[in-house]
Amino acid sequence: MSSVVLGYVPNALGDAAAEAAVHEARQRGATLVVVNTTRADRLVDPTYADDDDMSRLQGTLRTSGVDFTVHHGTSKDTAAEDVLDAAERHAAELIVIGLRHRTPVGKLIMGSTAQSILLGAACNVLAVKA
Amino acid sequence: MALLEGFSVAMQPMYLLYALGGVLVGTAVGVLPGIGPAMTVALLMPITYSLDPTAAIIVFAGIYYGGMYGGSTTSILLNTPGESASIVTALEGNKMAKAGRGAAALATAAIGSFIAGTVATVLLSFVAPYVAEFAVQIGPTEYVALMIVAFLTVGALLGASVLRGLASLALGLFIALIGVDALTAQQRYTFGNPFLADGIDVVLVAVALFAVGEALYVASRLRHGPVKVIPVAGRWTNWMRKEDWKRSWKPWLRGTFIGFPVGTIPAGGADVATFLSYASERKLAKGERKKQFGKGAIEGVAGPESANNAAAAGVLVPLLTLGIPTTATAAMMLVAFQRYNIQPGPLLFEVEGALVWALIASLYVGNLMLLVLNLPLVGIWVKILQIPRPYLYSGILVFAAMGAFSVNFTPVDVFVLLVIGVLGFFMRRYGYPIAPMVVGLILGPIFEDQLRRSLAISQGDPTALVSTPIAATIYVVLIVIFVLSFWLRKRQRAMESEVVEETPAAAVDLKEGGK
């Protein structure tokens, strides 16, 4: 069965991406694979969804009726690597992520998860703009 | 009068900028768990060597005060205290934040810190000259007595175990012996090595212990996964309600008057003061408010936060008047003084009056800056916590190595730094406090010099060391301090075990080194 991978972040952008991913998955009759991981290498990681965020997301996904699995937790790889990894494992036909503006300096120092996914993916990537 | 002159120096635009830089850096390191003011001062010491003494001391004072403010932010919003003096704040502050009163908790902490810092600095301005006046009358024998007070209190009271503290102190005293004897020019413990003949630089040891050792320890131990930040609602201008003011002002003042005296005696620094303040606020609360303790009582934030800032100012009294450091950060400031060939001690107010008053004036200025900066900038402090830890630790290590190299521009120093840094890591790992070692290293040579001088005067009669009235008084005071300090510690322990299940996880890691 085909699958769609969603790189989720707990904010408005992530919710917009989730909505688009649900839409795509339904159209394709695909399983939705939700990925949200952290390396736990910092005290505050705003892109990591806590349990409340996750159960909220799962609630909306359940009501949407698509088939889904969740990949959530601490990982030693970066978020981008985890998303690409999940896409490969599930032989995804599409990756859905949110895309936001980054300052050049921020990108230089912290790197860009979106950019790594866009360049590293073997399938199409849908970049959702909030 | 002298204070006004101090202000005229501290208010110069250049020095204001230095103070601003100091408080910003200080708050940032106060926010970050595992990185404290002592480490920061150690790291910056080689770099600030090119500044003039006044500027450097103002920067360090800013870091010292800033660290006290910064710790409260993470305590309240994340339940992970940034430094040991903010552990108590987390008890009530985080509960308040969870109940949507985070803004009020932050505000009462900041305003309380400001009031306590200012009142305590006023007390410092009044008390210090009197102590200094007494201090100039003392000779070598009294000096020896003071050093013994410093050694024993710092060795026995910083850290959890008396024996380990004293062992650490002895290690520091031993390292201080390495080099050439000042009186006879004999080489001691140098193994004929010309490098060791110069002795081991205090700065090197301090940077190794506080920066390298701490960074290694924290990197290996502190692994907290992502923590959710509790959002702060509303504009910062209406964070405090009228009722909050009414409930806060008494704890602020009580905290100040508990914190300042505790800071002046070597009882282990600001965290003892915060525990005392918390205990007394809880005891004094009545009826409804008493029930709120443990569920987010504003008094439990206002009191301890004032107490830790007042204690920070109190610590400066023995440091500036007698040259006795009672906390790790104070020890680092002492090293800074020595780097500029300023001998802290009884003569400091006489010889370097302008510098000391500029320092005290900059404390007033820094306090005001911290109040203005902290409330609106909470968002930025929380952002700092998003920096991945590997970046921080590698940065610290590179900085430390650079600093060590710049001491004498020899690669050997970097090697010594690493060796002592690894030693520092194992000391931390097995619960040996590192502050006594640095204090032993700083005061050791002075102690030796004064001891031999007084023995030379008395022609080798050791009873002369205790026979002058002032020296005898100092020894009596030593005993009083010990009794008082152990009593305080017992109270603190009792309270700690009382609230142990509420104490946040990070607090345990911080207890030892945060000082």
How close does chain A come to B108, measured CA to CA in Å? Answer: 24
Task: Give the pLDDT confidence score for residue B344 in this predicted structure.
Answer: 74
The answer, for B219 touching chain A at a CB cutoff of 8 Å, is no
CA distance B122 to B481: 24
Number of helices (H), then strands (E), belonging to chain A: the values are 5, 5
Give domain limits for chain B: 2-507
Segment A34-42 mean pLDDT? 84
Task: Give the pLDDT confidence score for residue B508 in this predicted structure.
Answer: 43
Percent of chain B with pLDDT over 90: 8
> What residues make up the domain containing A26?
3-129
Q: Are B28 and B384 in contact (CB under 8 A)?
A: yes
* B382–A39 CB contact, under 8 Å: no
ipTM score here? 0.74
CA distance B229 to B227: 6
Task: Give the pLDDT confidence score for residue A126 in this predicted structure.
Answer: 93
Domain count, chain A: 1
Percent of chain B with pLDDT over 70: 92
Give the pLDDT band (50/70/90) at residue B510: very low
Q: Strand A31-38 vs strand A68-74: parallel, antiparallel, or unpaired?
A: parallel
* B225–A46 CB contact, under 8 Å: no
Distance set, CA A15 to CA A56, A103, B251 (Å): 11, 22, 45
Which residues are paired to A127 by β-bridges?
A97
B279 vs A108, residue with greater confidence: B279
Q: Could you count the other beta carbons within 10 Å of the beta carbon of residue B411?
A: 10
Segment B425-438 mean pLDDT? 88
Task: Give the pLDDT confidence score for residue B235 in this predicted structure.
Answer: 60
How close does chain B come to A53, measured CA to CA in Å? Answer: 11
How does pLDDT run across B59-76, given as a tens digit for each residue?
998 998 888 888 888 888
Tell me which chain A residues have a C-beta less than 8 angstroms from the C-beta of B231: none
* A38–B229 CB contact, under 8 Å: no
Task: Give the pLDDT confidence score for residue B20 in this predicted structure.
Answer: 92
**Mean per-residue pLDDT of chain B:** 82
A123 vs B182, residue with greater confidence: A123
Q: What is the CATH number of the domain that holds A116?
A: 3.40.50.620
Give the pLDDT band (50/70/90) at residue B481: confident
How does pLDDT run across B119-165, given as a tens digit for each residue?
998 888 888 888 878 777 777 888 888 888 888 877 777 666 888 98
Choice among B124-138, B169-183, B203-217 with the minimum mean pLDDT: B124-138
Distance set, CA A37 to CA A61, A85, B209, B226, B229 (Å): 18, 12, 35, 11, 18
The sign of the torsion formed by the CA atoms of B415, B421, B425, B431 equals positive
Which tokens sit at B350? 């006489």
* A44–B386 CB contact, under 8 Å: yes
How close does chain B come to A29, measured CA to CA in Å? Answer: 35
pLDDT greater than 50 at residue B505: no
Which tokens sit at B342? 């300023």
Segment B332-359 mean pLDDT? 82
Segment A78-82 mean pLDDT? 88
pLDDT greater than 50 at residue B506: no
Which residues are paired to B187 by β-bridges?
B180
Using CB atoms, which residue from A38, A43, A74 is nearest to B33? A43
Using CB atoms, which residue from A40, A42, A50 is nearest to B386? A42
Q: Could you count the other beta carbons within 10 Å of the beta carbon of residue B319?
A: 24
CA distance B370 to B31: 13
- The CA angle B457-B463-B466, to the nearest 5 degrees, is 95
Task: Give the pLDDT confidence score for residue B498 in this predicted structure.
Answer: 66
Choice among B89-98, B227-236, B293-302, B356-365 with the minimum mean pLDDT: B227-236
How close does chain A come to B121, measured CA to CA in Å? Answer: 34
Which tokens sit at B174? 């031993």
Global confidence as pTM: 0.82
